Amino acid sequence: MTYTAIFQSSGGQLVTHMVDDSNDRDIAWKNIHANRDDEESCLILLIPGIHVTYRHEDLFNNAE
C-alpha cells in the first residue's frame, strides 16, 4: 500500500515522503519510522494514499 508519510525534523521542519509498505498500518508505521532517512526526525502522520501537501510558506511568499 502507498502512504503519505509526514515527518518532523529535530529543527521543526515538516518533510513529506511517499512510501510503499504493508497494508497493516501498525507494521507500516514501525517500518517507515525505522527506515527513515534522518534518524533525528519523527514520523508524525501516516496517511493512506498519495496526497499532495502544502505548507503555508509553499503558497504564500513572505505572507504573515
**pLDDT (tens place) for every residue of the chain, 64 residues total:** 999 999 999 999 999 999 999 999 999 999 999 999 999 999 999 999 999 998 888 888 765 5
Cα–Cα–Cα angle for 18, 9, 39, nearest 5°? 80
Q: How many whole angstroms separate alpha carbon 61 and alpha carbon 43? A: 27
Please report the pLDDT score of residue 56 as a whole number.
Answer: 84
pLDDT at 48: 97
pLDDT of residue 64: 57
In a domain, 47, yes or no: no
The answer to whether residue 60 sits within a structural domain is no
49: in domain:
no
Q: How many domains does the chain have?
A: 1
Residue 4 within any structural domain of the chain: yes
Q: Could you list the residue range(s) of the whole structural domain that residue 22 is in?
A: 1-42
- Residues 34 and 27 sit within 8 Å (Cβ to Cβ): no
